[in-house]
Structure formats: C-alpha cells, structure tokens
A and B are shown apart, each in its own frame.
Chain A
C-alpha cells in the first residue's frame, strides 16, 4: 500500500479520536441549550474550573490559600493528605452540583422569560467570574493531572497495523479511553433523557417552560439538574484535556473547538454532538494533511469553521438539530 494512503488512514483514525474530544466539550453546551435555550458561554471555563478543583482536591491543596495567607499572614498551602482519584472525582462533582445550584439561585432564576441574548450575556459574565474565582481558589500555576488514565502510543494497534501494512499506526491510549467514555456518556444521557422521569421532565421544559410548569414540573429543579449534568460533562472533558496539557487557563479555550461541532451537529442533539465532532475532527485533520502542507499549514482552526458553515448553508439547524418553524 502506498505510504501516503497509509498516512492518510492514520490521519483519519486520529481525526476521529480528536473529534470525540471535541464532542465531549460540545455535549455540555447541548445539554444546557436543550433544557433552557441558553447558549452557555461558560462551558469551557466550567471544564477548567472542574479540572482545577479535581487537582486541588486530589493534592490536598487548601482552597483560597493565597488569599488566606495574604490576609492572615499565615503560610498554609496543603492539608497534608492526598485524595484518591475516584473519591476526588466524586467530591469535585459535589462542588459542581453546588455551583449549579448557586448559578441557578443567583442568576438564572431571576432571568426566566428573558430574551436569549440576556441569558447569553449572563453566561459571559459567569465565564469571566469563574475564571478569576478559579484562579483565586486554586492558583494560576499549571497543574499536572493524573487520575491514572493511560497515555501514549497504543502498542497493540501499532503492532497490528505494522503486521498488516508494514507501517504501525499511532493511536493515543488517552484518545481510546476518551472514545469509550464518550460512548458511555452519550448512551447514558440518551437513556436518561428518554426513559427517566427527570429526563422526560427535562425534555418537557425544553419544549415549553410554561406548559411544563402547568403540569407540576419544577423549573428550578430541572435547571439545577441540567447545570449539574453539564458540570459533570465539563469535568469529564476537563479530565481528558487536562491530562493532555496539564490543567491551566487555556483549558477554557477548548470551547472554541466545540463551536463548529455545534454548528454542524445541531445545538439540541446529543448524538449530533458526537457525529458533528467526528466530522469536524476527520475533516480538519484530513484537510491539514492533504492541503495544509501546500498552503503553509495551521489550517485546522479555520477549516473547522468553513466545514461547519458549508453544512449550515444546506441545513441551518445542523445535522440533527430540530427545525424551528415559527408561524406569524
């Protein structure tokens, strides 16, 4: 088989894996948009905040230690213990649920029935607040995140493809884990939305707030639940991306990778986020591989948006989004 074809196959496989990582971020957006019509600008920062909290808890760091030390003249930084990964994930989830409750109580409860742009602006404010709050709480240094996920070349695939083609494909173990986690996450979310009482209530709220209220669905509860779910998805995305690059401010920018995925997959479809992620991942990687080298490279960021725009032209609601027809 020609080298270029083999390289191309390797690029496609890696594109699919990268797409799954993008989809993980996009899922959080979809959940909140589906249930409340809010485009949550803060989703990327939530991933950062969740990952920072996870590392802080695992390492036994004292939250707000710089502030405490500056005010009281103390020198406290660590509690002196370490928390195992699973327990730290559970504790972080409690923090994310608390955050969801606070966000709902202080912000969104007061903005029911406001125009979407007002809700969007509120999430921008929330994003900037969380950025600063996270820094004050855990510090802005780059933190190593190790919850025991494997990383690096998968030797089984390398050996297998080498045996078949004479060229070993590179697939990152972390990407494989991310794929499995994303599949489980999407499956669970779909089952939850379709078959659980809360899931059906969530869909009812998404269809019509007032109708849902009239049949006894608690809007407050559903919104806290949805923000908590989005917090959980943010935590998963934060773990995957944070393991790759360390936990640092730039994690919040992964939201930029989710936007074309949402444009393509639709803002209201959980499977759409996955399919959109895969198309964007493969599309941008293949373009960089085949055309990028001829035009100076670094095409991925903009090409993802070009791809999404092409889909938008033909299907404005995205591949899996609900077509909105408003009669006047």
Chain B
C-alpha cells in the first residue's frame, strides 16, 4: 500500500512538473531517422536560444520558457501524435514549429480548431501567408514560392535581365514539398520566356542516374533543386560527376546546408543555395550562447553545431518566436500569455534591424512586418554559395524581394480555393 501511494505521488509530481513553467513551446524535432542529420542542428539551435533566454534573462518578461521536445522522426503520423500529446503540456502549448511540410498539412486544421499557432518558417503550405484564411498559421519570413522567384531573380541578374529561351530544370523531391515551386516557375517562365524542365526524384533519392543523364543530354542552362536529406547529397554528387557547372546549380534553402555538400568534397565548390537568413557564427549572440549554454553544459545537443546553416535557422526560428512572445506580452499586458495571445503577438510582429542588432544578431535576417493579411513576411531571400576550401556557405547577394505580382496572385488563388473547400469565410 505504501509503495502504491509512493508511486502515485511520484507520478502526480512528474505529471504536474511542467505546470510550474508558464511559456510552453513545443519542439517537434527529429533526432532519429533518415533526416536526423538535418533535424539535429535545427533543434539544437531552436532549443539553445530558449535556454539562453532562461539562463541569461530569466525567461521572457520574467516568465521561464518550458521547452518540450517531441521526436517525430520526420514521420507525419508521429508528428500528429506529438501534437496531440503535447498541446496540453504546462499551461498549454503556445506554439508549434513542425519542421515538416507533411506534418504541417495535417496540423493546420487541428491547430486552427484548437487555437494554437503554427510557425512554418520557409516550408509548409505556401498560401497560408494569407492570414485571412489561415488565422493560426504563419510562414514568415519567406516561403517556397518566394524561393522560386529568388532563384529566377538571381538568374535574371546574371543574364542582364534577359533569360528568354533559356532552359531551367527543376530536380525535385516527388512529394507535396517538392512540387510546391512548379506553378510559380511555370508562371515566371511565361513572364520571362524561359522553359521549365521537370525532373521528379522519388523518396529517398539515393538513385538519380536517370535524372542526371537527362540533364546531361538536354543541357539545361540552370538546375534548381527542391530536395531534402540524401536526395541533396546524391544530386550534388551526380552534378559533380557529369561536370555540370556548380555556379548554375541552385538549391532551395532546405538543400543548402553543410550536410548537403560535404560528401561531394571539393567538386561541390561553387554550388549555390537560397537563404532567408545570414550564415556563420560571427554574431554577438554566439558569445552568450557559448557562455550561458554550451560551456555551462546546458546545450540541447553535443554543442558541436553552433554556426552551421541549420543551427542558425533553428536559432532564428527561436528568435522570431521569442520576439512574438514579447509582442504578445506588451499587447496584452501580461507575461503569462496564452496561445490566442501568442497568435496576436505573431500577427503584430515587427522585425526591424534595430531590434535584431539589440538581440546580438545584426544583419542576420531581412526586416519584415506581419499583419493579418500577410502572415508570410515581405518575401525577401538571398543566394549563398559553398566555399569548399573554407568549408562554409557565404551569402553572395543582397536580399531580393520575390516577384510580388506573380506570388500575390498565386497566394490569393490558392488560399481562396482552400477557403471554398473548407467553408471558411476569409476576413481580417
């Protein structure tokens, strides 16, 4: 009897534990499975920044952050299980960052019904930029369609503004994610007179000989890539093998981390990838991360990912979440905000350069302002290039704004179709 009582008390304490923390953020990470090499640095960056805020500042507005990690293995079903299992954690989850387009698609109706915001930074359903239709989904600062436009803008810039008659191939993961840029590229092709060549690659993408033989035979002027995981490494290696000029090979930001190029060695030098934030670790915030988190033994991982592309992206996601929390706290006059107030904070987020500089990340990301009509930011992105000798990606362009004429029309069309299918009356 005593033992049963002790067990019951222990269980009650364990369950009640998270309730002491007030700002609950869920990190649906993947540290196992085929995409673990990418999931780990992102999650480390995301968690380490929140740990820094807890250790250095005592949380946000005096409230500690309760970060709950849930392993999805990049599996959509597990992602949904994570959501269902954690939405009530602590005082209730404030925010999800699913880090998977598949999981995002499943969570959009659930999170909307539960009133919990999703931040799908640079992935997910692109038309969720329209906050009038997707009130609880935010995809700032840039989305896939912006990315397609950034790549074309870069190619235009390299060709004196005229790419009529050029052939641009898209090597893409044969999934909802990989197919996202097709429509945008087709519209941009009509506008600028280039031809689009589509080359799907089935999951996981370990064998791409057919696609790259077609590229060798048909000689497109540029190759764009929407890949993830092993597909990226194999594609870059195959491009090296057929001697495709690396400076004409541009990947989306999910095809542009150190993991993607290192396996191909020196041959990958010059490969380009899009980015919606800056790279490297030469920022004041890193001094604090080392002092308060890594050296204090509180890092989420082994502490060996600082400054990598995906660590920076995870950290940037955490910075944007933290700033949205601050905005919500100011708006509602309370430090212990709820999910609905968090949504308000995200919808009124204003990221200025002055704010980023004060946070120790000057010139790290483009300025943008969120509104009800625009949950996706202003559509700015840049191009980075791999320097194999230095072992790092470097931004080689300023931030371009995507072609708003084309993108806005596509967002309006797709979100209207979603609203019609789901009986949503759009409105802000």
Contact = CB atoms under 8 A, between A and B. Distances in A.
B213 interface: yes
B363 interface: no
Interface stretch (A192-200, A295-303, A308-316): A295-303
A261 interface: no
Interface in A239-271: 241, 244-246, 248-251, 253-254, 257
Interface residues of A, number: 46
A113 interface: no
A153 B206 contact: no
B320 to A, nearest CB: 26
Interface in A117-155: 131-132, 135, 140-142, 144-146, 151-153
Contacts of A153: 241-243
B153 interface: no
Q: Closest 8 CB pairs between A and B?
A: A246-B263, A250-B230, A298-B200, A140-B36, A288-B210, A298-B174, A301-B202, A297-B200
Contacts of A297: 174, 198-200, 211
Contact of A244 (B35, B214, B234, B259): B234
Interface residues of B, number: 41
B88 interface: no
Contact of A245 (B40, B213, B233, B240): B233
B201 A18 contact: no
Given A11-B210, A250-B206, A289-B210, A140 B31 contact: yes
B125 to A, nearest CB: 22
A14 B233 contact: no
A292 B202 CA distance: 12
A59 interface: no
Contacts of B201: 298
B426 interface: no
A151 B206 contact: no
A144 B206 contact: no
Nearest to A287: B210
B209 interface: yes
A11 B213 CA distance: 8
Nearest to B237: A244
Given A249-B36, A300-B207, A142 B213 contact: no
Interface string A155-174: 00000000000000010100
B336 to A, nearest CB: 33
Given A66-B302, A170-B216, A170-B242, A249 B210 contact: no
A245 B235 CA distance: 9
Interface centre among B199, B200, B230, B262 (most CB of A within 10 A): B230
B37 interface: yes
Contact of B262 (A73, A142, A288): A142
A69 interface: yes
A86 to B, nearest CB: 20
Contacts of B263: 142, 144-145, 245-246
A285 B209 contact: yes
A152 B32 CA distance: 31
8 contacts: A7-B217, A11-B213, A141-B37, A141-B259, A151-B237, A152-B240, A245-B263, A246-B230
A300 B214 CA distance: 14
A251 B241 CA distance: 20
A288 B212 CA distance: 12
A271 to B, nearest CB: 23
Contact of B34 (A145, A250, A296): A250
Contact of A142 (B31, B199, B243, B259): B259
Q: Which of A66, A69, A151 neighbours the largest number of chain B CB atoms within 10 Å of its CB?
A: A151
Given A249-B34, A253-B34, A18 B229 contact: no
Contacts of A285: 209-210
B17 interface: no
A116 B112 CA distance: 48
A10 B211 CA distance: 13
A296 B209 contact: no
B297 A253 contact: no
Interface string B283-307: 0000000000000010000100000
B380 to A, nearest CB: 29
A145 to B, nearest CB: 8
Given A142-B263, A296-B198, 16 more contacts: A11-B213, A14-B213, A132-B32, A141-B40, A146-B265, A152-B243, A245-B234, A248-B37, A253-B206, A257-B207, A284-B210, A285-B210, A288-B210, A293-B214, A296-B200, A297-B211
